[in-house]
Structure 1
Amino acid sequence: MRKNSTMKNRTPKSVNRGRVAVVTGGLVAALALGSTAAFAAGAGHEAAPVSAVAAAPAASSVSDVLQKQVTGQKDAAAQAKAKAEAAAKAAAEAKKEAAAKAAADRKARIAGWMTPTPHYVLGAGYAQVGVHWAHTHSGQDFVVPTGSTVRAAHTGTVVTAGWGGAYGNNIVIQHGSQLYTQYGHLSHIEVHVGEQVITGQEIGKSGSTGNSTGPHLHFEVRTTPYYGSSVEPLHFLRAHGVNP
């Protein structure tokens, strides 16, 4: 009887082996599942830093672009300012040079000589003989219409301005010791005695007053302010750089 009971309670070896296989398989499956979950969890934790790293360069790139734009704008503004300052400096220098040239030209003109009227035809000459003069002609006539500009042939001081008998309305200018010029037959006088005039300054208008047969300017170069001291005016002007 005991023998039979023992036999009933015994489990066949094949069954035990099957149970071991099942348990082992379960453990393996559990381990595999755990590993997979752990990997998935680990992967999830590592994904965040990858996204952050990817986002950081993007933000840095935008910042760099903005910084470059700001820098470019500053550089452009600096260049524009430099150009404006250079242009202003050049304009100031050009203006200064022009003023200096004008002053030099004026100084040269004041120091120089010119014809007593700008547009003319040469008429009766110096020492010419004729019925219109008591002796010979004492000056050079510049034939011009009445009202033409009469200008100082050289810088000086007015010593006569008014009626001059045969010369009609006339002006005499002193230019230095023993050097005078005279302008006769004027229709209008624009200066007064004692006035300082410069080369080229308008002093009156041409006419035909006094002993005159028609509109013209009578011009003399003298060694005194009076009649009888004249010299050949065209020769004098040519000697001083003027070609009438």
Structure 2
Amino acid sequence: MVETFQTHGSGILIAPEDTTKVSALKSGVIIFAGNDRKTGKTIVVQHADNSLSTYGYLSSIDVHVYQSVQAQEHLGVFEPKTNMENLYFAIEKDNKPIDPVQVIQVDDRP
């Protein structure tokens, strides 16, 4: 992790060293899969508890809007490049951002 929730304010930035397959945190429905002005190629999954998980700065998107996904199902790919070295990940519940570190294990906290 290269930028914490406390620093970023809405999510975290992760710096995978190699090409990484990005998977769903938990099951849900894709409500956005496309280009976002802030986070480039982005996927947003809505979960049964109405929380949202967002995956941004992806290299490729392998799902489509309204597609149901299961936990750990492949969503897309992140390839570190000079102009895009970090993967964005955020969780939102009740319109409020949640620190992803409270939900998932992230190695190498800064």
Please, what TM-score do these two structures have when normalized by structure 2? 0.83
Distance in 2 of aligned mates of 1:200 and 1:177: 17
Shift of 1:169: 0.4
Shift of 1:189: 0.2
In 2, are the aligned partners of 1:185 and 1:208 still within 8 Å (CA)?
Answer: no
Matched, 1:125 2:4: yes
Higher helix share: 1
Q: Which runs of 4+ in 1 moved over 4 A?
A: none
Find the partner of 1:152 among 24, 30, 38.
24
Letter in 2 for 1:235: Q
In structure 2, list runs of 5 or more residues that go unmatched: none
Distance in 2 of aligned mates of 1:178 and 1:203: 19
Higher strand share: 2
Q: Deviations over 1:40-69 (max 9, x none)?
A: xxxxxxxxxxxxxxxxxxxxxxxxxxxxxx
Distance in 2 of aligned mates of 1:177 and 1:155: 10
Matched, 1:229 2:96: yes
SS of 1:186's equivalent in the other structure is: coil
Shift of 1:148: 1.5
Higher relative contact order at CA 8 Å, sep ≥6: structure 1 or structure 2? 2
Aligned residue pairs: how many? 106
Aligned to 2:45: 173
Structure having the higher Rg: 1
Aligned to 1:192: 64
Q: Deviations over 1:54-102 (max 9, x none)?
A: xxxxxxxxxxxxxxxxxxxxxxxxxxxxxxxxxxxxxxxxxxxxxxxxx
In 2, are the aligned partners of 1:145 and 1:216 still within 8 Å (CA)?
Answer: no
SS of 2:101's equivalent in the other structure is: helix
Distance in 2 of aligned mates of 1:139 and 1:169: 16
